[in-house]
Amino acid sequence: MCALADLEPLWGEAARVGGRQVALWRLDASTVLAADHRDPRTGACVLARGILGSRGGAVTVASPLHKEVYDLADGRCLSGPGPVLPVHPVRVADGRVLVGLPPGKGAAAH
């Protein structure tokens, strides 16, 4: 996907992985989280510009459009009934960020 050093801590970045737009957030020296960049409620590609936060120990992102809050571990909407945000597994190896996508949604980026 990219070098870990390319990601600024606590800031979202968007990237294209296998034809899909993905948002990445670097939390600390070795933790990166990934989800679809597309807001599941509106369809707009804006989530990399969402606001990182936490709720009950969960790392969250709030959509910049309607402020729905999503758990970045499982994609649940924590603001009430709402669509799930697809989240993706991330691995950091040798200073590189690797994002996995489900089959049929684009190939894993290495």
Domain limits at 20?
2-99
pTM over 0.85: yes
Segment 44-69, tens digit of pLDDT: 999 999 999 999 999 999 999 999 99
Percent of the chain with pLDDT over 90: 75
Count other C-beta atoms under 10 Å from residue 80's C-beta. 7
21 occurs within a structural domain: yes
On whether the CB atoms of residues 36 and 85 are closer than 8 A, the answer is: yes
Domain CATH number, residue 45: 2.102.10.10
104 occurs within a structural domain: no
Q: Give the total number of structural domains in the chain.
A: 1
Percent of the chain with pLDDT over 70: 93
Q: Would you place residue 79 in the very low, low, confident or very high pLDDT band (cuts 50, 70, 90)?
A: very high
